[in-house]
Amino acid sequence: MIAEKPSVAQSLAKVIGANQKKDGYLEGNGYIVSWCVGHLIELANPEHYDEKYKKWRKEDLPIFPAPFSYQVTASTKKQYQVLKNLMKRSDVDSLVEATDAGREGELIFRLVYKQAGCKKPFERLWISSMEDKAIKEGFENLSPSVDYDDLYEAALCRERADWLVGINATRFFSTVYGQTLNVGRVMTPTLAMIVEREAEIKGFKPENFYTVQMLVSGVAVTSKRFKRKQEADELVEKINAADKAKISKMEITTKTEKPPLLYDLTSLQRDANKYYGFTAQQTLDYTQSLYEKKLVTYPRTDSRYLTDDMDDSTARLCCLMKDKYGYTKMVPISTKQVLNSSKVSDHHAIIPTENVSDADYSEIPSGEQKILGLVTARLLSSVGDSAEITEYALEVECAGEVFKAKSKCITSPGWHLLEDWILGKKQDDEEADSGKKDDGGSHGILEILEADASLLSEGRELPARDPKVKEGKTTPKKRFTEDLYCKG
């Protein structure tokens, strides 16, 4: 059995009883368990195909190997030799591919298998969790290797595309401009987005604008923007002369906010950056570590759903997580909204494992604790009730202009309660009512409506108080963060 790294190999070996430590592998109970150390095999450098490629010359481009050749990575030759020798052992009848259940894991194993010239049959261990129970179930349901041939071909395409673009474009632009310029299939378009955004920011010229704000029945309402202060000053004079304002619209809309979907890797990276400032790589590293500690499921997934057969196990998991985080209120758990096998390809969404209920948080690094909190909060909120948000839109006419104010409050928090509890945002419902706060000391729309709804009824005329000119400046677009970039 070949795993992707030593820590995973040890977890697998423990479950199947391979407890004897050897040099570069474990053995026992009829199994040999060894590991790769990342990519043991890599595409050969250009000079492997022809000595002339040692020197970078534009006239030698493009380089298109036919066929591609592979070589053993210099730093991992020892472990590769261990694997090769184990594959050739006469008492080894077959292999189990136990590298990470994804495209790169498939490539890592197959390249070693082919480089070693192995012809022995192998099966695929495909699991989404490192829990002992999941490993046992995986062993009981090993898949034929042929089922993953297309995944291997896809991995080869990705790897060779990276090589062709990276080698040829890097050498071309470096020779043209007389300095080393690294070009990559993914890196360069990403860099182009950042450079373009930076050019927009540097070329941005802020412009002043002016609005007029006044109080109507204690509510601050605001006019459209004016480019010239004189226009705003003239409007203030007109308001003072008119003295009265008319309510032209008082619209109340109630919206339902469905629970969020579960996390895939991208959405988790986005939220981890938004809440904690983690980079995408930090989030992946923390989540991968939690996966290897058997506390979350496989991180490199693009699905935000669970399979239909996970109904009972998900409900049980939710109850365990609720108790672990000390949430004592009644939780209506509706797992149906997170189950959809048709939207799960290689792996289901990222969720905590049942092991979390017995985990000692004092032994978990703080960064991993935060990721675990996000994943747990998302699981519980995703099976909760919808939230209900009421929005208020007020429009007032005065001196020939329309003034507006908006407000909203969460009238039924639903799934927000669970998320806020797990993430430590234990605030009163009133604090979430944006309609009750205003930096200018005015009343909110909801506060006025609760006191006397008729005060803001359409068609009613009210005094226009304290008109003021407010000055502002336009701002440039924000620089990319992991959060903004993932959204884009």
- Which structure tokens are listed for 228? 């010239």
Active-site residue flag, 298: yes
3-state helix, strand, coil in the chain (%, to 5): 45, 20, 35
Dist CA 228 CA 265 (whole Å): 48
Nearest to 40 by CA among 8, 3, 66: 3
* Beta strands 208-216; 461-473: pairing state: antiparallel
Backbone angles phi, psi at 92, to 5 degrees: -95, 115
* Beta strands 25-28; 31-35: pairing state: antiparallel
Q: How far is CA 258 from the centre of its chain?
A: 19
Dist CA 446 CA 371 (whole Å): 37
Peptide bond into 65 cis (omega under 30): no
Please say whether the beta carbons of 486 and 283 come within 8 A.
no
Dist CA 456 CA 461 (whole Å): 9
Q: HEC states along 221-246?
A: EECCCECCHHHHHHHHHHHHHHCEEE
Backbone angles phi, psi at 383, to 5 degrees: -105, 10
Backbone angles phi, psi at 13, to 5 degrees: -60, -35
Say which amino acid occupies 113: Y
Nearest to 445 by CA among 454, 461, 456, 459: 456
Backbone angles phi, psi at 125, to 5 degrees: -90, 115
Cβ neighbours around 22 below 10 Å, total: 14
253 Cβ contact partners less than 8 Å away, ≥ 6 residues apart:
390, 391, 393
Peptide bond into 413 cis (omega under 30): no
Dist CA 265 CA 300 (whole Å): 6
Catalytic residue among 148, 298, 305, 392: 298
- Which structure tokens are listed for 298? 């496989």
DSSP letters for 116-159 = TT--S-EEE---S--SHHHHHHHHHTPEEGGGGHHHHHHHHHHH
129 Cβ contact partners less than 8 Å away, ≥ 6 residues apart:
291, 294, 297, 298, 353
DSSP state of 110: H
Q: Which residues are catalytic?
A: 298
